[in-house]
Amino acid sequence: MSSTLLISLTMMFIATSTGWAADLSSKVVDKNCWIEIFDDDEYDEDDPHVKIQGPAEYATLRDVNGRDWSNDIESVIVGTNATVHAWKDKDFKGTEISFTPGQRVPKLSKLNMSNTIESMKITCGP
């Protein structure tokens, strides 16, 4: 067996085993992949608010943990390992806004996105 063949076999084994490991770890909940949405601005905890674990896709926000969140979000806090895309209409349509990992937006009204978001995608990673 030539050394080149041996190296390529070794590389193949490493690639296969890390792929398997990545598969397993993707099933573990990412503690920093989430978005917390608030009914009121300035993260008002006296009004409805909920943390949504990612990765997740919501074509509509009509039922998020049993509450209709359509056109109701006024502030958000994004987990440090989450990237979130949100749309003004359901089914990922209309004006789109994206939030970066760790971003906090106390007033979506300043971005012209207050009480208007109706769909959302949360992906994990930078």
Residue 41 interacts with Ca ion (CB under 5 A): yes or no: no
> Of 24, 49, 27, 16, which Cα lies nearest the Cα of 124?
27
Q: Choose one: 22-30, 53-61, 87-95, 104-112; the region binding Ca ion (CB under 5 A).
A: 87-95
Is the CB of 83 or the CB of 116 nearer to Ca ion? 116
* Closer to Ca ion by Cβ: residue 30 or 39: 39
- Nearest to Ca ion of 120, 122 (CB atom): 120
User: How far from each other are the two terminal CA atoms of the chain, in whole angstroms?
Assistant: 42
Q: Is 44 in the site for Ca ion (CB under 5 A)?
A: yes
Kindly state whether residue 88 participates in binding Ca ion, applying the rule CB under 5 A. Answer: yes
